[in-house]
Amino acid sequence: MTGTTTGADDGPLKMRVLFGTERFSSQHSWGELTGLLPGSLRAVVDVRSSPPGAFAERARRESIDVVVPLWAELDAETIHGGRFGLIQQFGAGVENIDIAAATSAGVWVANMPGLNAVDVAEHAVLLLLALLRRLPESRSGFDRGQWGDPPGEALAGSTVCIVGLGAVGTQLARRLDPFEVRLIGVRRDVRRGAPPTTPDLEIVGADRIHEALMRADAVILTASHEPGRPPVIDRAALAAMRPGARLVNVARGALIDETALLDALNRGRLAGAGLDVFTNEPYPASAPLAHHPRVIATAHNAALTTSYFRRAGRALGDALAAALHAGPPPNALNAPTQPRQIHPQHRAEVTSGSQHDTQARSRVARPTVARPCPE
Residue 46, beta-bridge partner list: 16
State whether 231 and 144 are in the same domain. Answer: yes
Tally of structural domains, the chain: 2
Between 12 and 311, whose confidence is greater? 311
In a domain, 52, yes or no: yes
| Residue 351, in any domain of the structure | yes
Same-domain check for residues 278 and 322: no
Q: Is 300 a catalytic residue?
A: yes
Residue 369 has pLDDT above 90, yes or no: no
Domain assignment present for residue 134? The answer is yes
* Paired residues of 205 in beta bridges: 187
Is there a single domain that holds both residue 107 and residue 125?
Answer: no
Given the residues 57, 77, 180, 281, the one annotated as active site: 281
Can you give the three-state secondary structure of 186-231, one letter per residue?
Answer: EECCHHHCCCCCCCCCEEEEHHHHHHHHHHCCEEEECCCCCCCCCC
Instruction: Kindly state whether residue 149 falls inside one of the protein's structural domains.
Output: yes
Do 165 and 224 have their domain in common?
Answer: yes
355 and 323 fall within a common domain: yes
User: Which residue would you say has higher pLDDT here, 40 or 285?
Assistant: 285
Of 264, 297, 330, the residue that ends a domain is: 297
Residues 357 and 271 both lie in one domain: no
In a domain? residue 132? yes
- Does 229 map to a domain? yes
Q: What percent of the chain has pLDDT over 90?
A: 78
pLDDT at 88 over 50: yes
118-135, pLDDT tens digit by residue? 999 999 999 999 999 999
Task: Give residue-wise pLDDT tens across range 333-344.
Answer: 999 999 998 877
Mean pLDDT for all residues in the chain:
89
**CA gap 250, 171 in Å, rounded:** 13
CATH classification of the domain holding 128: 3.40.50.720
Question: Are residues 42 and 17 both part of a single domain?
Answer: yes
- Quick check: 188 and 206 in contact, CB under 8 A? yes
Q: Are the C-beta atoms of residues 107 and 79 closer than 8 Å to each other?
A: yes
pLDDT for res 10: 57
Domain that holds residue 183: 117-297
- pLDDT at residue 324 greater than cutoff 80: yes
Annotated catalytic residue, options 23, 175, 182, 300: 300
- Select which of 16, 28, 58, 252 is catalytic: 252
Q: How far apart are the first and last CA of the chain?
A: 37
| 126 shares its domain with 109 | no
pLDDT confidence bin for 366, thresholds 50/70/90: very low
The answer on 255 and 127 residing in a single domain is: yes
The whole-number pLDDT of residue 184 equals: 98
Residues 280, 138 share a domain: yes
The full DSSP string for 74-129 is B-HHHHHH---SEEE-SSS--TTB-HHHHHHHT-EEE--TTTTHHHHHHHHHHHHH
Same domain, 286 and 320: no
- Among the candidates 251, 278, 297, a domain finishes at 297
Domain assignment present for 65: yes
Last residue of a domain, one of 279, 297, 315: 297
pLDDT per position as a tens digit, 268-321: 999 999 999 999 999 999 999 999 999 999 999 999 999 999 999 999 999 999
Span 217-268, pLDDT tens digits: 999 999 999 888 999 999 999 999 999 999 999 999 999 999 999 999 999 9
Check whether residue 144 and residue 93 sit in a common domain: no
Q: Is residue 369 part of a domain?
A: no
Give the sheet arrangement for strand 66-68, strand by strand.
43-49, 13-19, 66-68, 86-88, 108-110
In terms of pLDDT, which residue wins out, 198 or 61? 61
